[in-house]
Amino acid sequence: MERRSLLASVLIHAAALLLAAVILAPIFWLFVMSISPAADLVAKPLRWWPSEVDFSRYATLLSTIPNSAGAAFTASLVNSILVASMATIAAIALAIPAGWAVSRTPSIGWSLSLVIATYMLPPVALAVPLYMGLAALGLLNSVFGLALVYLSILAPFTTWLMKSGFDGIPREIEQAAMMDGASLFATLRIVTLPLALPIVATSALFAFLLGWDEFFYALLFTSDQRARTLTVAIADLAGGRVSDYGLIATAGVLAALPPVAVGLLMQRALISGLTSGGVKG
Amino acid sequence: MSGTWMTTRAWLLMLPLLIIMLAVIGWPMIDTVRLSFTDAKLVGAAGNFVGFDNYLKMLGSSNFQRALWATTWFAVVSVTAEMVIGVLAALLLNQQFYGRTVLRALLILPWALPTVVNATLWRLIYNPEYGALNAVLTQIGLLDSYRSWLGEPGTAMTALIIADCWKNFPLVALITLAALQAVPRDITSASLVDGAGSFARFRFVILPYLAGPLMVALVLRTIEAFKVFDIIWVMTRGGPANSTRTLSILVYQEAFSFQRAGSGASLALVVTLIVTVLAIGYGMLVRRAAGSAA
């Protein structure tokens, strides 16, 4: 360990404080806005701390009284959960067999590379035919249609994660079970899948968050409460004539809670995913 | 078990994924190519074949050229800033100091925030009448009167880039930090013994270890930046005076606001081509960087 001069030590701590402030100030302000009385937020000079703490907006947004601001918000919340869940389940169902196949048969690996390479396609390049296709199928403004489209984002990602997961499970275990007379299906179900369960759970969680965050397709393919998701609802609030900025902030806090909680809790898995991506290129 | 049966079985297991990918990516991509040669509208008649008309018209239009410039500017400035700030933050977090573990955990917060929430948050911060930025700057005396950061063509793009950097520099920092931990301790100490200064140490001893991961971060961020839509749509919708209208926003307006599916498709394909060329070029760089690091 190299010895640091006092000056270096002071500079490092000052830089750390600055970094912490840069990261935390905007997030902290979002939360403060959500609990400040509306008058505080339009006061000049601006109040940095609420004159009285007011959590009522959370109750307002989460209420289900018909035709209230809450009803529209909770409807979009439910839509977001539905779309992200359906897309996640379908993506995992596609990813398990495909990920296993590529992991055990490297000669077909190029097909997965091709699927993953679609990541670089800008969504605008697919949007027009998808719009026309969904319209023809009667799936515009439908949670099912949106979930189907989300598979274009979620399925390559989950397959890639599942493939790396299966790579870590020695195929000798499967061969031993087969030797004992178990069929391929039984082997996968009894031996491989239980071992792969943690990676299935991680993939599902991240897939859900990808669906939860998605905005572009949701903006294009939904038009009202029947399918409109949370991200679109928040963008509408932000761009609309809502006079209470605290309400917009509250919606933001609520939408940010699931990914932020997962990010903090699953930091280790997330970072190891990032680094393995970095190493494999 | 024979090799052919193994391969056939693998393809069978891949089949459901491939069918879905064909339906939601393959077919739309091909249909976009077809549409780009027609004058089809978003709704209604199928449209007539018009050859390269859409491309010629679009490439010559000032709208396209301005959007291409705005996208390039956004991508180059935001990605450069994210790489520099991200690496600096990672180098800092690689030092010993009180509270380091907590700060590392906090780093994930901006990145975990959904893009739309991030955009909304900064839109509130930049608010011309009641925003926190105006309040801070006037309260510490740097600003005389409130400004409309997102409402003036001179500041809107910079304001957007700052919001984008704040969300995305942590990704670069996390990747760099993980790579820094792979640098063997004895190598850095050996360079100290040899009398290397701290900059020389970073440049010649540490940087080679970071080259591969940093290239990956650069590729991912550049591709994302060229596709940018969400943050701009929520914060400015391409305004004011189209100063933040990037290519994706222009495609959206052409295909969905003006319902010109044909010319929208041709624009979308040009964007795809640019991103593909970037990705391939970078891919070659990554391979070289990985080769030199090994």
Domain ranges of chain A: 1-54, 57-280
Q: Measured between beta carbons, which residues in chain B are less than 8 angstroms from residue A109?
A: none
Contacts of A213 (CB under 8 A, 6+ apart): A231, A259, B114, B115, B116
Q: Measured between beta carbons, which residues in chain A are less than 8 angstroms from residue B290?
A: 281
List the single residue in A with minimal CA-CA distance to B127: A245
Residue B222: is its pLDDT beyond 80?
yes
**Mean pLDDT calculated for residue range B266-281:** 91
Residue A146: is its pLDDT beyond 90?
yes
H/E run at residue B254:
none
Burial class of residue B250 in the structure, from the number of CB atoms within 10 Å of its CB (0-12 exposed, 13-18 middle, 19+ buried): buried
Nearest to B160 by CA among B249, B98, B90: B249
List the single residue in B with minimal CA-CA distance to A246: B124
List the single residue in B with minimal CA-CA distance to A260: B112
Q: Measured between beta carbons, which residues in chain B are less than 8 angstroms from residue A77?
A: none
Which residue in B25, B120, B286 is closest to A281 by CB distance?
B286
Least confident of A24-28, A180-184, A219-223: A180-184
**Percent of chain A beyond pLDDT 90?**
63
Among A121, A219, A266, A270, most B C-beta atoms within 10 A, so best to mutate, is A121
B251 phi and psi, to 5 degrees?
-60, -45
Nearest to A217 by CA among A163, A263, A153: A153
Query: Is residue B287 very low, low, confident or very high in pLDDT (cuts 50, 70, 90)?
Result: confident
- Rounded to 10 deg, the angle between the A245-265 and A230-239 helix axes is 140
List the single residue in B with minimal CA-CA distance to A95: B17
Whether A45 and chain B come into contact, CB under 8 Å, resolves to yes
Residue window 250-279, chain A: list those with CB within 8 Å of chain B.
251-252, 255-256, 259-260, 262-264, 267, 270-271, 274-275, 277-279
Q: Which tens digit of pLDDT belongs to each residue from B13-53? A: 999 999 999 999 999 999 999 999 999 998 877 788 998 99
Distance CA B35, CA B80 (A): 36
Could you tell me which residue, B12 or B292, shows the higher pLDDT?
B12
Say how many CA atoms lie within 13 Å of A202 toward its Cβ: 22
Whether A216 and chain B come into contact, CB under 8 Å, resolves to yes
Distance CA B64, CA A36 (A): 44
Query: Is residue B260 very low, low, confident or very high in pLDDT (cuts 50, 70, 90)?
Result: very high
Residue A275: is its pLDDT beyond 70?
no
Instruction: Compute the mean pLDDT over every residue in chain B, rounded to the nearest whole number.
Output: 90
* Structure confidence at residue B290 (pLDDT): 64
Residue A279: is its pLDDT beyond 50?
no
Query: Is residue B112 very low, low, confident or very high in pLDDT (cuts 50, 70, 90)?
Result: very high
Alpha helices in A4-68 (DSSP H): 6-35, 38-41, 56-62
Q: Measured between beta carbons, which residues in chain A are less than 8 angstroms from residue B226?
A: 122
Could you tell me which residue, B132 or A66, shows the higher pLDDT?
B132
Amino acid at B21: M
Query: Is residue A139 very low, low, confident or very high in pLDDT (cuts 50, 70, 90)?
Result: very high
Whether A26 and chain B come into contact, CB under 8 Å, resolves to yes
Among A36, A120, A124, most B C-beta atoms within 10 A, so best to mutate, is A124
Which residue in A111, A119, A279 is closest to B14 by CB distance?
A111
Please check whether residue B118 is in contact with residue B110, taking contact to mean a CB–CB distance below 8 angstroms.
Answer: yes
B42:A216 CB<8 A: no
Whether A239 and chain B come into contact, CB under 8 Å, resolves to yes
Whether A101 and chain B come into contact, CB under 8 Å, resolves to yes
CATH 1.10.3720.10 fits A57-280, yes or no: yes
A228 phi and psi, to 5 degrees?
-60, 130
Q: Which tens digit of pLDDT belongs to each residue from B137-171? A: 999 999 988 999 999 999 999 999 999 999 999 99
**Residue B78 distance to chain A (closest CA, Å):** 17
Least confident of A178-187, A229-238, B55-64: A178-187
Q: Measured between beta carbons, which residues in chain B are less than 8 angstroms from residue A259?
A: 112-114
Residue A3: is its pLDDT beyond 70?
no
Distance CA B285, CA B294 (A): 14
**Residue B252 distance to chain A (closest CA, Å):** 7
Nearest to B272 by CA among A124, A152, A115: A124
The CA R_g of chain B, rounded to the nearest whole Å, is 24
Among A11, A24, A128, most B C-beta atoms within 10 A, so best to mutate, is A128
**Mean pLDDT calculated for residue range A239-257:** 90
Ranges of each domain in chain B: 48-293
Q: Measured between beta carbons, which residues in chain B are less than 8 angstroms from residue A120?
A: 223, 275-276, 279
Whether A222 and chain B come into contact, CB under 8 Å, resolves to no
B29:A125 CB<8 A: yes
List the single residue in A with minimal CA-CA distance to B265: A125
Cα first-last separation, chain B: 38
Residue window 126-185, chain A: list those with CB within 8 Å of chain B.
126-133, 135, 148-149, 151-152, 155-156, 159, 184
Residue A158: is its pLDDT beyond 90?
yes
Whether A38 and chain B come into contact, CB under 8 Å, resolves to no
Among B15, B121, B145, most A C-beta atoms within 10 A, so best to mutate, is B121
Q: Determine the topology of domain B48-293 in CATH.
A: MetI-like fold (1.10.3720)
Place of tokens 């301790």: B185
Q: Measured between beta carbons, which residues in chain B are less than 8 angstroms from residue A104?
A: 6, 10
Q: Measured between beta carbons, which residues in chain A are less than 8 angstroms from residue B39?
A: none
Could you tell me which residue, A274 or B91, shows the higher pLDDT?
B91
The length of chain B in residues reads: 294
